[in-house]
Amino acid sequence: MDLPIELVYVIVDRIEDNDTLKACALVCWRLRQPAQGALFKSFTARNGEIAKADDFLAQSPHIAAYIASMTIELSNSGLDKSPELYPRLLSRLGGLRRCALVGDDRLLPGSSAILSQLERLKLYELRLEKLALDLPGLRRVIALAPSLSFVEVSVPSRGIEISDLNEDALVGIERLGVYESPCVCGVLARLTSTGFHSLEHFMFSVTSDAEPAFAILAKSAERLRSLALAYKQGKANNSTPAILYLPALKRVTFTVPLHSRSSSWLSSMYSTLLSHTTAPSLTSVRITYIPQYTPFCCPAYLHWDYFLPILDGTLSSHPARPHLCWALDLADKNRAPIQRWRPDAETTTFDSPHAAFFVPANEERSFAAFVNGVKSGMPAMATHGRLDFEKILTKQYW
């Protein structure tokens, strides 16, 4: 093979099929290292197999050097039996940039040793999921990486004083995600009175009390470049953020259950956040719908949704001419099987005399109906060519 090694790396890195990468690793020595690097750049250590993963990396230290992203499934049972196993696994990694720790909703024994290894690694991104943190743990976590995500993470909601935590660590946070973690959001909102000086990307889910998230939004207003909001009906209160000026904001993303799309609170958020007076630099808006049922069926009379003209007027008149992408998340594993003849607004189409009860089985046909319905409800944006549509078929975690 006479290709320059740099070009070989580029070609191999574009291969997505693991079987093909394994075959490449066996072809010749020039392909082995690029193929192994592509195979092991992301690594998952599953619960019950941590010891095997540790033995594998101990016997193949060159493989450990390839790993840039790792997900570790933690459990109290595993830590109780071998509390040194998880930090030992992390100690074998030198180039790790992204790490996800997935727990089982309880406070983990031995977490101090794990955090010590993460401090050594100098991570760029850390995601904590289904974990409970005590005060010392939270103090260390907020200083671990410039990109932090909390998913269903709990912390003590009482007894935390601002002086107990390292408020200076917040200055270095560039990306912050807080999903289904209201206590974490509340603590972070209380931590700083001067603002999140480096925060450019903020992602949060709307819970029963959205005020802490809005407080973080206000404190990061000057530098914030992207904002993502996940909404669940019945969890949002009626509050909306005070009038904000977000001069650097370029991208806004909403994730919404399809059956909750007509929420008046959401309509108010659209008007508040997407206005040219709030976000004069806005260039991209994305609204992702999560269908409740599978297969996906386009709601009847979608083009009559009352908020579509509001969106159409707000975005079509925006001086920055932002584009709007409508996405359907068809990769969600929690969608329920649909029942034929179900009188549900989501499960109807407009191509039958019995539209209120007719359920087609063809998702492609329903997606085409969805596209046509949105275009009919937003004629100005459609005429300007500023509407895009996407189907999400693979779950993305990073």
pLDDT category, 3, cuts 50, 70, 90?
confident
Please report the pLDDT score of residue 27 as a whole number. Answer: 82
CA distance 281 to 249: 6
Examine the pLDDT at 255 and tell me if it is beyond 70. yes
Q: What is the mean pLDDT of residues 376-392?
A: 94
122-131, 238-247, 327-336, range with greatest mean pLDDT: 122-131
Please report the pLDDT score of residue 254 as a whole number. Answer: 94
Please report the pLDDT score of residue 261 as a whole number. Answer: 87
pLDDT category, 48, cuts 50, 70, 90?
confident
CA distances from 222 to 199, 241, 249, 317 (A): 9, 15, 9, 23
Read off the pLDDT of residues 14-25 as tens digits, 9 standing for 90 and up. Answer: 887 888 888 888
Please report the pLDDT score of residue 239 as a whole number. Answer: 66
Please report the pLDDT score of residue 228 as a whole number. Answer: 94
Instruction: Tell which residue, 289, 292, 235, 243, has the closest CA to residue 265.
Output: 235
Examine the pLDDT at 387 and tell me if it is beyond 50. yes
Contacts of 134 (CB under 8 A, 6+ apart): 107, 155, 156
Q: What is the mean pLDDT of residues 88-105?
A: 89
Can you point out the beta strands (E) in the chain?
42-45, 69-73, 98-102, 125-129, 147-151, 175-179, 201-205, 226-230, 251-257, 284-290, 293-294, 323-329, 336-337, 387-392
Please report the pLDDT score of residue 127 as a whole number. Answer: 95
pLDDT category, 167, cuts 50, 70, 90?
low
Residue 69 burial by CB count (10 A; 0-12/13-18/19+): exposed, middle or buried?
middle
Please report the pLDDT score of residue 277 as a whole number. Answer: 93
Q: What are the structural domain ranges in the chain?
A: 228-398
Please report the pLDDT score of residue 7 as a whole number. Answer: 83
Retrieve residue 132's tokens: 């409970």
DSSP summary character for residue 206: -
Rounded to the nearest angstrom, the gap between the alpha carbon of residue 32 and the centroid of all alpha carbons in its chain is: 33
Q: What is the mean pLDDT of residues 110-133?
A: 89
Q: Poorest-confidence range of 111-115, 248-252, 320-324, 383-387?
A: 111-115
Average pLDDT of the residues of the chain: 81
Q: What is the mean pLDDT of residues 344-373?
A: 58
> What percent of the chain has pLDDT above 90?
32
Higher pLDDT, 300 or 149: 149
Higher pLDDT, 3 or 116: 116
Read off the pLDDT of residues 337-355 as tens digits, 9 standing for 90 and up. Answer: 544 434 344 443 334 333 3
Read off the pLDDT of residues 198-248 as tens digits, 9 standing for 90 and up. Answer: 899 999 988 667 888 888 888 888 899 999 999 876 555 556 667 789 999
CA distance 279 to 250: 8
Please report the pLDDT score of residue 244 as a whole number. Answer: 82
